[in-house]
Amino acid sequence: GESVGLHLPTLSVQEGDNSIINCAYSNSASDYFIWYKQESGKGPQFIIDIRSNMDKRQGQRVTVLLNKTVKHLSLQIAATQPGDSAVYFCAETLYNFNKFYFGSGTKLNVKP
């Protein structure tokens, strides 16, 4: 099977609870951030993005928060479902720079 997920931080939540996944990014000059979801055996899938001129952005059941002061990004998932079980990555880049840098990921395990 897919080896992605070994030695990753793991967050276990109960189905229906809210999940918060955190990410510390490295470059204070980064101005565009994306959260990706990766299921076993598949490529990363876009969830939500945010630019540095915002500190919060909401999607369907997901919210991304950006704190530039401490270089911190978080992904909140409301009413977590078993289908949300996956590895979640944050990525940062400089606008127009063509180079996204990815964090090492957090594994979300949703218990029924």
Q: Residues interacting with other proteins, by CB under 8 A? A: 2-8, 32, 34, 41-46, 49, 89, 91, 93, 95-105
Least distance (Å) between residue 19 CB and other proteins: 19
77's tokens: 């998932």
Amino acid in the structure at residue 3: S
Least distance (Å) between residue 16 CB and other proteins: 28
The smaller minimum CB distance to other proteins, of residues 10 and 67, is found at 10
Contact call for residues 35 and 64 (beta carbons, < 8 A):
yes
58-83 residues labelled b (16+ CB within 10 A) or e (exposed): eeeebbbbbeeeeeebebbbeebeee
Euclidean distance between CA atoms 27 and 38, whole angstroms? 23
Least distance (Å) between residue 21 CB and other proteins: 14
The smaller minimum CB distance to other proteins, of residues 105 and 108, is found at 105
The smaller minimum CB distance to other proteins, of residues 28 and 95, is found at 95
